[in-house]
Chain A
Amino acid sequence: MLYKNPYNNYFDYVVQRDLDRCIRCKACVTQCSYGANFYDPDREMIYSLDANCVGCMRCSTFCPTDCIRIVRNPDAFRPNANWKDNNIKDLYKQAGTGGIIITGMGNDKPFTNYWEHMVIDACQVTNPSIDPLREPMELKTFLGRKPERLEIGRDGDITTKLAPQLVLETPIMFSAMSYGSINYNVCESVARAARELGTYWNTGEGGLPKALYEYGRQTIVQCASGRFGVSPEYLGAGAAIEIKIGQGAKPGIGGHLPGEKVLEGISETRMIPVGTDAISPAPHHDIYSIEDLKQLIYALKEATRYEKPVSVKIAAVHNVAAIASGIARAGADIIAVDGFRGGTGAAPKAIRDNVGIPIEVAIAAVDERLRQEGIRNEVSLVAAGGFRNSSDIVKAIALGADAVYIATSALMALGCTLCQQCHRGRCAWGITTNDPELARRVNPEIGTERLVGLIRAWSNEIKEMLGLMGINSIESLKGNRDRLRGVGLSEGELQTLGIRQAGT
């Protein structure tokens, strides 16, 4: 703790190294981007500065003799049910800095996870289940405004003029992560995976690097309150445009990209000077009402000749259903709702951990409201914020989502271990950093394969789950809440989710 303020010296992890098995290869030293491991040439040994360790486990996974263990610091404050360790440490930190605590990734607090309180129905005896390995199973999903009715011409063709649609081979898209918050190699991995999978990725609010324009047909381009990187070419390059109103990790505030991460390429794409913080305004200053939103939606549609669906992304908040209804009536083709477990590259911790609502209840509330108002067909509903596996997705679709966005899971496929240091720009896994030396750690060849692997695996599992419900198309699952039951939920929770208690 020499030269350190003792109040700031309560650290979270300890790097344990079995010196009998350490071969001094220095893999752990070069891999740690936080300076936690170092080689002492005088003693010819590798040591660690535990206070610098963020628990990302880059070193322990790279150690060729498995001699490193990252363990929780056993140092313990006196147990106190009211004052948990993180409350105490955060308080000390703030007393020392006078600053807002910034963090990365999604809400990590133990709120009820409703996915874990919902179970899926299956066919037995009287209704046949379907074997997806032997029979056709359709995951194809169309996002966009659907007509109230279809008119078929004499030759069997549809004569109704259809609104532009996004066509997904699987109901999973890559959610908005801006170039800058993640580096170019990660953007390229995600874009290539989207193309290979027949789905879409989202630029986030950082613009689209010129070299990725070739993936435009698989790209949803975002237009956020900072308008970073928005140009006619950018809007023209994407398959759809998304207006970002809010983000699940930080509802009510704009995007934050710390200046440390704004390097050359990011500066060019965002059209801002190198090294400046890119802090998006909290609201869109041209949107103070649904009518204003409508103007922007139609301005974007006009700018792209009504050829692309326009999505509006909001954070899941208390009145999400009413807001979604307003967005639908403002002319959006897609509504993306981001729950409070959604990730972020940087957000004030107090906001990330306390603002917003779970995506499970938001899907249920929005779908229900749009149905009641008879406008469910006018918009597609995309859910985001904390999807961890295929069953979460099946449940989301059964609750009423048309498709889901994943981002945290996608980054985890690239190596992310949820160490929550994204805002520091020193990601040891090479994901949320633009430092060229660290960014090399994501090789897009490998990244693409791993993302494709993940989505293929989840898609296969979704098919299996559809099959056991006797459903052969994802369309038949949408809003099919009868296939869900709640376990361990209160009457009010069941009612909000619109599902019945298991056993009834």
Chain B
Amino acid sequence: MKVVYPREQWCVACNLCEVACMTEHSRTKDPLKAYLTERPRPVSRTKVEYRPPLAISVMCRHCAEAECVEACKNGTLTRNEETGRIELDQDRCLGCWMCIMACPYGAIGQVAMHVGGEERRVANKCDLCPDRDVPACVAACPNRALVFEDRG
């Protein structure tokens, strides 16, 4: 299956992957509103780890043996057998954070969402942008430090 691979040797730490991810997963799909006015504020599902001189954008690997799926108690995280993607159903998430503990890449984060008028925090991770041909982060990367490939 195709997933996003970071190529850290070309990451310039510009954070545009984060901006693109956040925008893509916002209600308005507009970076200005996504950052400045939307509430709850969307959160990027990839994170540029920047410890100069090293930089790498880290997001869900959609592991073949996914620790997060093993750790999830109520079926919020599942593998889609058809696509191979690890899917996260935020409506089911109870916020126990076992997936965050289990993920060896630190690729799962939290995001606030409105459920029935109240705001609660749920797990958040890369969904490979199901509405796009190429994930937003890959399309935004100016130096091909993120590639969308099937490496078998």
Contacts of B53 in A (CB 8 A): 435-437
Whose C-beta in chain B lies nearest to the C-beta of A27? B14
Chain A residues near B10: list those with CB within 8 A.
Answer: 440, 443
Identity of the chain B residue whose Cβ is nearest the Cβ of A441 in the assembled complex: B12
- With A23-B31, A446-B144 known as contacts, the answer to whether A30 contacts B11 (CB < 8 A) is no
Binds A, one of B15-23, B66-74, B106-114: B15-23
Least CB separation from B34: chain A residue: A23
1/0 per residue A56-71: CB within 8 Å of B?
0000001011000000
Q: How many residues on the A side are at the interface (Cβ–Cβ under 8 A)?
A: 20
Task: Tell whether A25 is near chain B: CB-to-CB under 8 Å.
Answer: yes
- Which B residues touch A31, using CB under 8 A? 12, 14
CA distance in complex: A441, B12 (Å): 6
Question: In the complex, how many angstroms separate the beta carbon of A27 from the nearest chain B beta carbon?
Answer: 5
In the complex, per-residue mask of A364-398: 1 if CB is within 8 Å of any chain B CB, else 0: 00000000000000000000000000000000000
Contact B32 A440 (CB under 8 A): no
Question: In this assembly, does B143 line the interface, its C-beta being within 8 Å of a C-beta of chain A?
Answer: yes
Kindly provide the distance from the CB of A354 to the nearest chain B CB, expressed in whole angstroms: 37
A6-29 toward B: CB 8 Å interface, digit per residue (1/0)?
Answer: 000000000000000101111100
The distance in angstroms between the C-alpha atoms of A446 and B36, with both chains bound, is: 33
Contact between B143 and A30, CB atoms less than 8 A apart: no
Residue of B nearest to A67 (CB): B32
Q: Are A27 and B143 in contact (CB under 8 A)?
A: no
Residues in A with CB closer than 8 Å to B35 are 23-25
Q: Which chain A positions have C-beta within 8 A of B14? A: 27, 30-31, 62
Indicate whether B9 reaches chain A with its CB closer than 8 angstroms.
Answer: yes
A136 to B20, CA, bound (A): 47
Which of A23, A430, A437 is B52 in contact with, Cβ under 8 Å? A437
- How many residue pairs bridge A and B at CB < 8 Å? 57
- List B contacts of A30 (CB < 8 A): 12-15, 50
B50 and chain A: residue at smallest CB distance: A30
Chain B residues whose C-beta falls within 8 Å of the C-beta of A435 in the assembled complex: 53
By a CB distance below 8 angstroms, the chain A residues around B143 are 440-441, 443, 446
Contact B32–A27 (Cβ < 8 Å): no
Minimum CB–CB distance from A387 to chain B (whole Å) comes to: 27
Task: Flag A94-118 by CB within 8 Å of B: 1 or 0 each.
Answer: 0000000000000000000000000
The reply to whether the CB of B40 lies closer than 8 angstroms to some CB of chain A is no
Enumerate chain B residues within 8 angstroms of A24, measured Cβ to Cβ: 35
Q: Which of A21, A430, A441 contacts B32 (CB 8 A)?
A: A21
Q: How far is the CA of A41 from the CA of B20 in the complex (A)?
A: 23
Question: How far apart sit A443 and B20, CA to CA, in the bound complex (Å)?
Answer: 21
Query: Shortest CB–CB separation between residue B77 and chain A, in angstroms?
Result: 29
Report how far A25 CA is from B42 CA in the complex, Å.
13
| Bound-complex Cα distance A62 to B20 (A) | 13
Report the separation of the CA atoms of residues A24 and B52 in the bound assembly, to the nearest whole angstrom: 20
Q: Does B31 contact A64, Cβ atoms closer than 8 Å?
A: yes
Contact (Cβ within 8 A) A27 B144 = no
Specify which of A21, A64, A440 is in contact with B12 (CB 8 Å cutoff). A440
Taking a contact as CB atoms under 8 Å apart, the answer to whether A27 and B50 are in contact is no
A27, B16: Cβ atoms under 8 Å?
yes
Decide yes or no whether A292 CB sits under 8 A from chain B: no
Residues of B within 8 A of A233 (CB): none
Bound CA span A384–B67, Å: 60
Residue B84, interface by CB 8 Å = no
**B142 surroundings in chain A (CB, below 8 A):** 62
CB distance from A37 to the nearest CB of B (A): 12
| Distance to closest chain A CB from B35 (angstroms) | 4
Nearest CB of chain B from residue A30's CB, rounded to whole Å: 5
Given the complex, which residues of B lie within 8 Å of A440, measured CB to CB?
Answer: 9-12, 55, 143
* A443 to B144 Cα, complex, angstroms: 8
Any B CB within 8 A of the CB of A445:
yes
Question: Would you give the shortest CB distance from A68 to chain B, in whole angstroms?
Answer: 13
Contacts A62-B142, A445-B144 given; indicate if A25 touches B11 (C-beta within 8 A).
no
B52 touches A26 (CB 8 A): no
Q: What are the residues of chain A within 8 A of B32 when measuring CB–CB? A: 21, 23, 65
Contact residues in B for A21 (Cβ distance below 8 Å): 32
Query: CA of A64 to CA of B55 in the docked complex: distance in angstroms?
Result: 19
Closest to A430 in B: B12
Contacts of B20 in A (CB 8 A): 64
CA A291 – CA B144 in complex, angstroms?
52
- B58 CB, min distance to chain A CBs, angstroms: 16
Q: A31 — nearest CB in chain B belongs to which residue? A: B14
List 18 additional A-B contacts (Cβ < 8 Å) besides A30-B12, A65-B31, A437-B52.
Answer: A21-B32, A23-B31, A23-B34, A23-B36, A25-B19, A26-B15, A27-B15, A27-B19, A30-B13, A31-B12, A31-B14, A64-B20, A435-B53, A440-B10, A440-B55, A441-B143, A443-B10, A443-B143
Q: What 4 pairs across the A-B complex have the smallest Cβ distances?
A: A23-B35, A437-B53, A30-B13, A443-B10
